[in-house]
Amino acid sequence: MNTQLALQDAPFKRIDGKRASARVLSEVAEQVKQLQQQGAQPGLAVVLIGEDPASQVYVRNKVLRAAEVGIYSLEHKLAADTTQADLLALIDSLNNDPQIHGILVQLPLPEGMDETRVLESINPLKDVDGFHSSNVGGLSQGRKVLTPCTPAGCMRLLHDTCGDLSGLHAVVVGRSNIVGKPMAALLLQANCSVTLVHSRSRDIERLCRDADILVAAVGRPKMIKRDWLKSGAVVIDVGINRIASDSGTRLVGDVDYEDVYDQVAAITPVPGGVGPMTIAMLMQNTLDAARMQLSKGE
Ligand SMILES: Nc1nc2c(c(=O)[nH]1)N[C@@H](CN(C=O)c1ccc(C(=O)N[C@@H](CCC(=O)O)C(=O)O)cc1)CN2
Ligand SMILES: [Mg+2]
């Protein structure tokens, strides 16, 4: 097989997630406007428990982006010592609120809360994170369901960069429920041959070297080096790792960007790659959820 990918209108190696996310947001804004002209208004509830500083930033950005695209949003900030019963009661009220089409509970939850129990309590039709087992199952069967935002954003970047992915060998590093597993399912749906590698895999470097597309989602700063990649691979770096620097801390991915740059056909930077796509795809999911519910008269 020709290992050099035919890249789609991609004169630059650096895959610009900010620019791609702005395109998604402007498409969503246009479609929200059309819904509004029919008298409908998509609504999103964002629930944050506790005071994790990174989560606070992500939630603030979600609410800001919602306002920009015309989605009505409500932010529910709960104290770190909120009981699980109170959180479940809030989710129940949002499940029954006809103005709310999307519900998102920011992760990670405070220690002691049962993440599975909480995520399973969200109405799957309003599950704009795509984490409910009904949506996870639907995704693995190739049904059209609400899909986790980060993997959906990675797919959008890959299609923009490579066009058709059929027949390519994709290696996903990391098997989390939020990224690794849904990413593997989406790549399979796009007709890739998929290898999912993880901390127990043997000879990870050899497996990675066979990748046409490599998606890194392990949370280990700069783990993937030049000699892990074949020449001309396309690399999507989902890692967001804060490391110490001269001026405090800085963000780096799971891939050693500078080291691999000459080896790859295209690569997402950190920051400015996958991250901005996560929130843009959340807006897309909220719009899709609203459309689904409005068409069912819910
Ligand atoms: N309920 C959810 N919780 C979490 C999710 C999720 O999709 N749903 N994902 C992450 C956090 N996250 C969104 O919630 C998120 C992470 C990163 C970014 C982003 O834009 N990153 C920037 C850098 C930002 C920074 O300086 O920290 C980038 O990579 O350019 C957006 C959203 C875990 N929790
Ligand atoms: Mg892992």
Same domain, 181 and 98: no
Residues of the domain holding 84: 38-123
Does some domain include residue 261? Answer: yes
Same domain, 116 and 175: no
Does some domain include residue 4? Answer: no
Same domain, 157 and 258: yes
Does some domain include residue 192? Answer: yes
Tell me which residues of the chain have a pLDDT lower than 50: 1-3
Q: What pLDDT shows up at residue 6?
A: 63
Q: Is the CB of 106 under 6 A from ligand 1?
A: yes
pTM for the model stands at 0.95
Same domain, 164 and 266: yes
Q: What pLDDT shows up at residue 298?
A: 58
The domain tally of the chain equals 2
Residue 14 forms beta bridges with which residues?
A: 267
Does some domain include residue 70? Answer: yes
Q: How far is the CA of 296 from the centre of ligand 1 (A)?
A: 31
Give every CB contact of residue 137 below 8 A, 6+ residues apart in sequence.
none
Same domain, 224 and 107: no
What is the distance between the alpha carbons of residues 147 and 144, in angstroms, rounded to a whole number?
Answer: 8
CA dihedral 170→174→176→179, nearest 10 degrees, is -40
Same domain, 89 and 161: no
Q: What is the pLDDT of residues 277-293, one digit of tens each?
A: 999 999 999 999 999 99
Tokens of 221: 């700063």
What is the distance between the alpha carbons of residues 150 and 58, in angstroms, rounded to a whole number?
Answer: 13
Q: How far is the CA of 196 from the centre of ligand 2 (A)?
A: 10
- From atom 29 of ligand 1, which residue's Cα is the shortest distance away? 275
Q: Is the CB of 235 under 6 A from ligand 1?
A: no
Q: How far is the CA of 39 from the centre of ligand 1 (A)?
A: 32
Q: Is the CB of 46 under 6 A from ligand 1?
A: no
Per the listing, tokens 């020709």 go with 2
Q: Are 190 and 183 in contact (CB under 8 A)?
A: no
CATH code for position 200: 3.40.50.720
Same domain, 57 and 116: yes
CA 283, 288, 289, 290 torsion-angle sign: positive
Q: Which atom of ligand 1 is nearest to the CA of 59?
A: 14
Per the listing, tokens 């996903």 go with 172
CATH code for position 86: 3.40.50.10860
Same domain, 73 and 168: no
Same domain, 164 and 243: yes
Does some domain include residue 186? Answer: yes
Same domain, 181 and 232: yes
- From atom 20 of ligand 1, which residue's Cα is the shortest distance away? 275
Does some domain include residue 29? Answer: no
Q: How far is the CA of 167 from the centre of ligand 1 (A)?
A: 30
Q: What pLDDT shows up at residue 247?
A: 87
Does some domain include residue 290? Answer: no
Output phi, psi for 15, to 5 deg. Answer: -80, 115
Q: Is the CB of 59 under 6 A from ligand 1?
A: no
Q: Is the CB of 182 under 6 A from ligand 1?
A: no
Beta strand segments in the chain, E: 43-49, 72-78, 102-105, 169-173, 193-197, 213-216, 233-237, 241-245, 248-252, 264-267
Does some domain include residue 130? Answer: no
Reported ipTM? 0.96
Same domain, 113 and 162: no
CA dihedral 98→100→101→107, nearest 10 degrees, is -140
Q: Name the closest ligand to CA 175.
A: 2
Q: What is the pLDDT of residues 159-209, one digit of tens each?
A: 999 999 999 999 999 999 999 999 999 999 999 999 999 999 999 999 999
